[in-house]
Structure 1
Amino acid sequence: MPAGLPALVPGGEHALRGRQACQPAHAWSDKHSAYDLVNGPSGTGVDDLFTPEINSDAPGGGDWTTDNAKTRQYDGYKVRAVLNEIDGKDHSGRRSVGTPAVFGLNFQSVSTAQKLPSSDGASGGYLPGGREPGPLLTASLDLVDRSVGAFESRLAADGLARSTSIILTAKHGQSPTDPTALTRIDDGPIIDAINAGWAGTHPKAAPLVAAASDDDGMLIWTSDRSTAATAFVRRYLLTHPASGTVLPSGRRTLRSSGLSAAYAGASAAAYFGVPRSEPRHPDVVGIAQHGVVSTGGTKKIAEHGGADWQDRNVPILIAPATLLGGGHRVAAPVETTQVAPTILALLGLSPRALESVRLEGTRTLPGLAHVREKG
């Protein structure tokens, strides 16, 4: 289930050969200023970074995610940025800088159409059964389709179509797709009960849950990182039921706080593949039962951030510049981490220039050997 649908558009060889001193080699547009992280360790990896804040105030009140029409308007700004970059300008269209070698954007209207129960007079999410998008999601997918079509038309008009490859994929999926599987559980009372239970035996201690990020999973950081404290949180989560709302109306009670598993302390660190001493990993990780979304309201019918299979299975589509006469489907399992080395290969560069490739052995996406050979 795609959510966000970021599109990477790496330019061909001539885009590198024709680059002037002031020409950006890389451009990217995303939803938060935090995506400065795409600049990499140097802090200068992207020459033209455009990150309009999606949670800023939108016209009419609320942010750009509260109404799907606003989100589509927001995406339109980034589509315009990419069209400007195809034309050899910066994202604003004000300066001529040359077409980047790698550029693209992240769409958000698909994500809000999956999350919102309704917007603009149309129901959001998928139809019952979870296999067919509802009217709001269909409209957002159509927007992506038209936008990619506009990119292709502009590339062709500028003589770049035969030297540019387009990659469509997603950062994550969202769950549940089937609205009848949804259970919305308010995580606030769960956190309050954990803090109250710990305070009962540690009256002078700070609230045990220092921070939490709970969507369709639970990530909890504790003020006391001892084995006893993190085990207490895990034990509470797994031994207490939680009640939540279901569609169209009603309630459902689930065992173990709506979780299927929980990891604490050393096992939480191991879940992320880091040492116990690493200071940033969550101290407790809760794996949600399928369909569980943490929210105290009724404005969400799907979420991401957990380990659900619908969160972690997304499409990857590549239209290589050299692919003529149709394509083929690759059934082999792949990962989105393989997109980055594939981009380097499409540009005729060595994927081993990426530290992650050298450390983890990440391979390029299969089925593109003929493209790599031509470099």
Structure 2
Amino acid sequence: MSRRPVHSVRSVTAAAAALAAVGALTAAATPASAHAPVHPRAARHVLLLSVDGLHQADLAWYIARHPHSALARLAGGGVEYTHARTTNPSDSFPGMVGQLTGGDPGTTGVYYDDTYSSALLPAGTTKCAGVKPGAEVDLTEDLDKNQDSLDAGQGLSGLPGSILQMTGNPTTLLDPAKLPVDPKTCRPVYPHSYLRVNTVFEVARTAGLRTAWSDKHAAYDILNGPSGKGIQDLFTPEINSKAVGYAAGADWTKDNAGTEQYDGYKVRAVLNEIDGYDHSRTHKVGTPAVFGMNFQSVSTAQKLPASDGLTGGYQAKGVPGPLLAKNLDFVDQQVGALLTELRTRHLADSTTVILSAKHGQSPTDPTALNRIDDGPLLDGLNAAWKAAHPGAGDLVAHAVDDDAMLIWLTDRSQAAADFAKAYLLARSGTGNGIDGKARPFTASGLQTLYAGTAAARYFHARPGDDRVPDLVGVTQYGVVYTGGKGKIAEHGGAHADDLDVPLVVSGAAAPHGVRVDSPVRTTQIAPTILRLLGLDPRSLDAVRIEHTRTLPAR
């Protein structure tokens, strides 16, 4: 993966000294089994907040116009990393998994929220003998027992008002018949079992610390880690369920006010946890050592052409439009409520708050938008393959195209990958721009296309790995693969708009008013959390594999 050149106002060597109270240097070479505290504990609690879609430029824009805002206080009261990058692909699952494991997709095995494995058996398989491997691995709302219900099928009455009564063990809300099957055991593979490395939550639990998290699908069971026991209180109201009180049949992402309402439920859960309760405020359990949530409403404000009478997205390159500006105010208010509660409960001096994002969103320049329907491209590829190979079936086993192109093939040979690459790079056609008018495209909207072994190298994965895509396409800037005109931005790609996210470490043990302009990665959050809590970063599998460093501070 390419890295941005260093533009630091302070040297990296000097940087190492500041989170010195936190010991924020390279992970110490101690045994991986050492889960007990091995460093001075700089914080008793770490609150992690992911504002999905938020760019570092958005944060800077907002703070410049609201210098007394909660976000300004958070950044000014800690260390702000101005050149932080999330995982590539820049999707929710690899992004969040990276923050909480310290690893990139080539290590974690998690490339997207909807992928493919050539080693697993299709969902619903009950008799495994003789079944050909190859299965979709879906980590979306599709796994819920009832994806139309905010409680994912738990059966609560009085929704949405009763949603805080949702279980803290959403693994029970996943339909096993929708999960891929392990051919060795002929049993369903749950999201937590699919993850190849352990998580911050597992290390914290082994050390006897309490853990909690709030996110958007029951499939975030993946953050429990391979043990399945990392998070004691996992609150996951289904964001893609039918939104009560909004347009008929629409989910909570189709109206930005609805997404804000949805985010508010998770904020309430975290406030309850700050107060020492479980997310439902039913049981007094103590404030977690590691906890937090994701915000989804910035993402919908960036993607929706309009909502609530306001224009979505950006009004010029990097300049938030009315809907996004309004939503940044909402996020600021919610973050402010969390900071206020920490002070009220006398926890501000013992809590480190980390703010970042799973992913950015592209394009931030509305004039660059080119919406391309990928369906005809994939259909054409399959037809060309069959024409060249009489009697063959479809070449495309699975594809995920947002503002990147990830394709898994039924024939995993280099020759098949090269065939697909040549076909796609020869395609031209017509998409549509921000104004809905026709806009031509070439090379299937791609800037670069990696095929076969080159795709594996791109992700630093082993060639032939059962999960790595056979083709990885980096789009031309502004391309979004969609069949309609219902969205104006997406994520998942490798452009700066996808990858450049905020990263702030503030509160306990963090020096005030520090800017670090050298490049950092959001995967560095995971070892930093453990070091803050006095635990060994090398207890994380991915930290040992990738040599992931903790965050510098100056």
Structure 1 Cα separation of the partners of residues 429 and 476 of structure 2: 12
Q: Give the Cα–Cα distance (whole angstroms) in 1 for the partners of residues 429 and 462 of structure 2.
A: 32
- Are residues 1:82 and 2:82 paired? no
5+ long unaligned stretches in structure 1: 9-18, 369-375
- How far did 1:3 drift? 2.9
2:233 pairs, out of 48, 54, 60, with: 48
CA-to-aligned-CA distance 1:115-153 (integer Å, 9 cap, x gap) = 11101111111112x222111111211111111110111
After superposition, where does 1:198-347 map in structure 2 within 5 Å? 198-323=385-510, 326-347=512-533
Offset of 1:202 from its aligned partner?
A: 2.2
Counterpart for residue 13 of structure 1: none
What amino acid is aligned across from residue 39 of structure 1 in structure 2?
N
CA distance in 2, matches of 1:219, 1:271: 12
1:364 paired to 2:364:
no
Runs ≥4 residues deviating over 2 A:
1-8
Contact 1:4 1:107 in 2 (8 A): no
1:3 to 37, 46, 52: 52
CA offset at residue 2 of structure 1?
A: 6.2
Secondary structure of the residue that 1:315 maps to in structure 2?
Answer: strand
> Number of residues paired by the alignment?
355
* 2:314 alignment partner AA: Y
The equivalent residue for 2:299 is 111
Cα distance in 1, alignment partners of residues 482 and 523 from structure 2: 30
* Distance in 1 separating the partners of 2:434 and 2:242: 30
Corresponding residue number in structure 2 for 1:196: 383
Identical amino acids, percent of aligned pairs? 59
Write the deviation string for residues 159-200 of structure 1: whole angstroms up to 9, x where unpaired: 111111111001111110010010000001111111111121
Give me the whole-angstrom Cα distance separating, in 2, the residues matched to 1:351 and 1:4.
Answer: 27
TM-score by length of 2: 0.62
1:71 corresponds in structure 2 to 259
Question: What code does the residue aligned with 1:94 have?
Answer: T
TM-superposition CA deviations, 1:43-93 (whole Å, max 9, x none): 111111111111112114211111111111110110000000001111111
- Report how far residue 201 of structure 1 moved: 2.1
Pick closer, same or farther for the CA change 1:4–1:50 going to 2, 3 Å. Answer: farther
* SS of alignment partner, residue 338 of structure 2: helix
Distance 1:323 1:337, change over 3 A: closer
Q: After TM superposition, give the deviation of residue 306 of structure 1 in Å.
A: 1.1
RCO higher in structure (CA 8 A, sep ≥6): 2
1:39 corresponds in structure 2 to: 224
Tell me the TM-score normalised to structure 1 length: 0.90
Q: Does 1:94 align with 2:282?
A: yes
More moved, 271-280 vs 294-303: 271-280
Measured in 2, the distance between the counterparts of 1:358 and 1:52 equals: 33
Residue 178 of structure 1 corresponds to which residue in structure 2?
Answer: 365
Conserved? CA contact 1:234–1:264, under 8 Å = yes
Moved more, 220-229 or 252-261: 220-229
8 Å CA contact 2:537, 2:543 repeated in 1: yes
Task: Supply the distance in 2 between the matched residues of 1:127 and 1:36 (Cα, whole angstroms).
Answer: 37
Per-residue deviation, 1:33:
1.6
The whole-number CA distance in structure 2 between the counterparts of 1:101 and 1:310 is 32
Q: Is the 8 A contact 1:230 1:283 kept in 2?
A: yes
Q: Cα RMSD over matched residues?
A: 2.2
Which stretch has the larger CA shift, 154-163 or 315-324?
315-324
Checking the alignment, whether the CA contact within 8 Å between 2:51 and 2:296 is kept in structure 1 is no
Question: Are the counterparts in 2 of residues 24 and 48 from structure 1 also a CA contact under 8 Å?
Answer: no
Aligned-residue offset at 1:323: 4.5
Structure 2: give runs of 5+ residues left out of the alignment. Answer: 1-49, 55-94, 100-203
The residue type equivalent to 2:52 in the other structure is: A
- Matched to 2:440, the amino acid is T
Deviations 1:254-291 (A, max 9, x none): 22111011111111112122222211111111110010
The separation in 2 between residues aligned to 1:80 and 1:252, in whole angstroms, is 44
Q: For 2:308, which of 103, 120, 126 is the aligned residue?
A: 120
What is the alpha-carbon distance in structure 1 between the residues aligned to residue 327 and residue 212 of structure 2? 24
Query: What secondary structure does 2:516 align onto?
Result: coil
* Aligned equivalents of 2:523, 2:490: Cα separation in 1: 22
Cα deviation, 1:229-251, whole Å, max 9, x if unaligned, reads: 22111001111213210121322
Task: State which drifts further: 353-362 or 95-104.
Answer: 353-362
Q: For 2:436 and 2:303, how far apart are their aligned partners in 1?
A: 17
Q: Is the 8 A contact 2:436 2:485 kept in 1?
A: no
1:356 Cα offset (Å): 1.8
Letter in 2 for 1:352: R
Contact 2:276 2:287 in 1 (8 A): yes
Give the Cα separation in 2 of the matches to 1:302 and 1:2: 16
Q: Which amino acid aligns with 1:3?
A: D
